[in-house]
Amino acid sequence: MEKIFTPNKWFVLFCGILVLMFGALQVVANLRLQELAKTEGERVFSWKWSGLASSTGVIEQSDILKKTETDAIVRVKGM
């Protein structure tokens, strides 16, 4: 039987770079999601009532618990 395809060093290098780029995109997407969760958490935990009383939430940490293609569950911790 004759070999049709044999990978060489350039093909392996290309595949390695492709895997690294995919990993970098996942990291950036997770960081963006965490920052969005922090911003939304500050909006939810900060409130003002008729100018008499107010509270400001300070978000310290956000963790991604579950992420799918369409939604995510994120835990937001703050004071």
What whole-number distance in Å separates Cα of residue 55 and Cα of residue 41?
Answer: 13
Query: 56: which 2 tokens?
Result: 């400001």
Mean pLDDT within 15-25 = 97
Domain residue extents for the chain: 9-78
pLDDT in tens, 39-79: 999 988 888 888 788 888 889 999 999 999 899 999 999 88
pTM: 0.75
